């Protein structure tokens, strides 16, 4: 597809379970970001990839959160031992680095609900 694709669109899980959220960026975009957005708030930065490597993971709240991008395209955000406070919409965005204008192209998000 032409845009950023995120799956699943909705995920309901129980406290303590493990979840994976997937992001397919726009083809050719080397920059990939994960954000978390709670109701009524702006996106909160989690992690930024440049190619395969995490260039900035300072936004990950704790060691239960981990993200990978092994081939420089698809990325997976992994959350271990989920807690109710992890409930939010997780947004993925991709961007070109050649222009450095900072425009991000967002997916529709994955809504995570931890019961």
Partner 1 sequence: KNQVEQSPQSLIILEGKNCTLQCNYTVSPFSNLRWYKQDTGRGPVSLTIMTFSENTKSNGRYTATLDADTKQSSLHITASQLSDSASYICVVNGGGSQGNLIFGKGTKLSVKP
- Contact between 41 and partner 1 (CB under 8 A)? yes
* Residue range at the interface with partner 1 (CB under 8 A); choices 14-22, 62-70, 80-88, 96-104: 96-104
Computed on alpha carbons and rounded to an integer, the radius of gyration of the chain in Å comes to 13
- Contact between 114 and partner 1 (CB under 8 A)? no
Closer CB to partner 1, 13 or 50, in the complex: 50
Q: How many residues bind partner 1 (CB under 8 A)?
A: 27
- Contact between 1 and partner 1 (CB under 8 A)? no
* Residue range at the interface with partner 1 (CB under 8 A); choices 17-25, 29-37, 64-72, 74-82: 29-37
Beta strands in the chain (DSSP E): 5-7, 10-13, 19-24, 31-37, 44-50, 53-56, 65-68, 75-79, 88-95, 105-106, 110-114
- Contact between 93 and partner 1 (CB under 8 A)? yes
Phi–psi pair at 85, nearest 5 degrees: -70, -10
Count of CB atoms within 10 A of residue 76's CB? 14
């Amino acid at each position: 597809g032409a845009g950023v694709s995120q799956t699943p669109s909705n995920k309901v899980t129980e406290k303590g379970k493990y979840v994976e959220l997937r992001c397919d960026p726009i083809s050719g975009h080397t920059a990939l970001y994960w954000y978390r957005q709670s109701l009524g708030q702006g996106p909160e930065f989690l992690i930024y990839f440049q190619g395969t490597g995490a260039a900035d993971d300072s936004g990950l709240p704790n060691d239960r959160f981990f993200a990978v991008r092994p081939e420089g395209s698809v990325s997976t955000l992994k959350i271990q031992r989920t807690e109710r406070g992890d409930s939010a919409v997780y947004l993925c965005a991709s961007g070109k680095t050649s222009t450095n204008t900072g425009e991000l192209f967002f997916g529709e998000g994955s809504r995570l609900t931890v019961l």
